[in-house]
């Protein structure tokens, strides 16, 4: 699911997977206020959180969210 979205939006959105069980992942979670797993956060080019959610995403829901966040 992620690979297809990465390919589709490669010129508009950067996708990064973070493992919260690592020190770097825990630091990222703390920085952006992610308090559960799985979590999803969208960060704009200025480093501001523009969307955050907890819980798993199915492919359709994730596609809808990504499409709504993608720059025109």
Q: In the chain, how many domains are there?
A: 1
Per the structure, the complete domain to which residue 40 belongs is given by 2-69
Handedness of CA 38, 16, 29, 42 (dihedral sign): negative
Tens place of pLDDT per residue across the chain (72 aa): 778 888 888 888 888 888 989 999 999 989 888 888 888 888 888 888 888 888 887 888 888 887 887 766
Q: What is the mean pLDDT of the chain?
A: 84
What length is written for the chain?
72
Residue (of 33, 35, 41, 36) closest to 17 by Cα position: 41
| pLDDT value at residue 57 | 78
The pTM assigned to this predicted structure is 0.67
pLDDT value for 51: 85
């Amino acid at each position: 699911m992620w690979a297809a979205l990465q390919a589709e939006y490669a010129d508009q959105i950067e996708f990064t997977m973070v493992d919260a069980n690592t020190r770097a992942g825990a630091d990222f979670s703390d920085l952006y206020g992610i308090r559960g797993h799985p979590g999803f956060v969208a960060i704009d080019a200025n480093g501001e959180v523009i969307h955050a959610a907890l819980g798993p995403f199915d492919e359709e829901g994730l596609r809808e969210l990504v499409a709504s966040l993608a720059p025109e």
